Amino acid sequence: MIEEIWLGISGIFMLLGAVGLLRFKCFYLRAHSATMTTVGGVCLSLFYFAYKTLWSIFSFKTLLIIIFLLLTSPTATHAISHAAFVNGIKPKSLVKNEMEGEK
Amino acid sequence: MMFEYIIFISALMVLIRVIIGPSFADRTIASDLLINLLILYMILYSINTRSVIYLDIAILLSILSFTGTLSIARWVRKK
């Protein structure tokens, strides 16, 4: 019962993230939807699997994967967004460009 | 079994964005997401076959996707 609810919520997060990746019209909105919601869904599901098999080698490696995912996916998204901004992909509602003349 | 179907449908939608995406950044973000879904599927597979080696592959895949995304961001040049 608890298993189905938990995994169902995680699956809903992943589906919503993938649908948002398809339907948004601005690149920065797509990046938000792609990394935040899907990584959240994946980590919820991994927390459940680590809880089921707690105190074993499986749960230690799963917790390691969770920590690594939560640490590195915002960094990667920030790097790609900076590269896209410098290369000319501007958001739809840009008011003031504070990064004039950056390489 | 429902959970694998949900992962599969999400992966199909992300694959459409990899093909369509009108710039390099769309494709990079979508491929990073595909590897995240693959990590989740590998953990499910390791539970199914009761074998621990697939977790090491999942850790390595996350490291690879991270360094790949960072190298694309570092070396893209202005047109």
Determine which of B27, B49, B69 to mutate to test the interface with A (most A C-beta atoms within 10 Å): B69
Contact (CB, 8 A) for A45 and B37? no
Determine which of A36, A54, A57, A61 to mutate to test the interface with B (most B C-beta atoms within 10 Å): A61
Cα gap A99→A85, rounded to integer Å: 9
Instruction: Indicate the pTM of the whole model.
Output: 0.91
Within 8 A of A88 by CB-CB distance, chain B residues are: 78-79
Q: How much is the average pLDDT of A19-36?
A: 92
Q: Look at residues A71, A67, A99, A72 and name the one whose alpha carbon lies nearest to residue A86.
A: A99
Is B23's CB within 8 Å of A84's CB? yes
Q: Is the dihedral of CA A72, A77, A82, A87 positive or negative?
A: positive
Cα gap A32→A69, rounded to integer Å: 15
Give residue-wise pLDDT tens across range B25-63.
999 999 999 999 999 999 999 999 999 899 999 999 999
Q: What is the ipTM of this complex?
A: 0.89
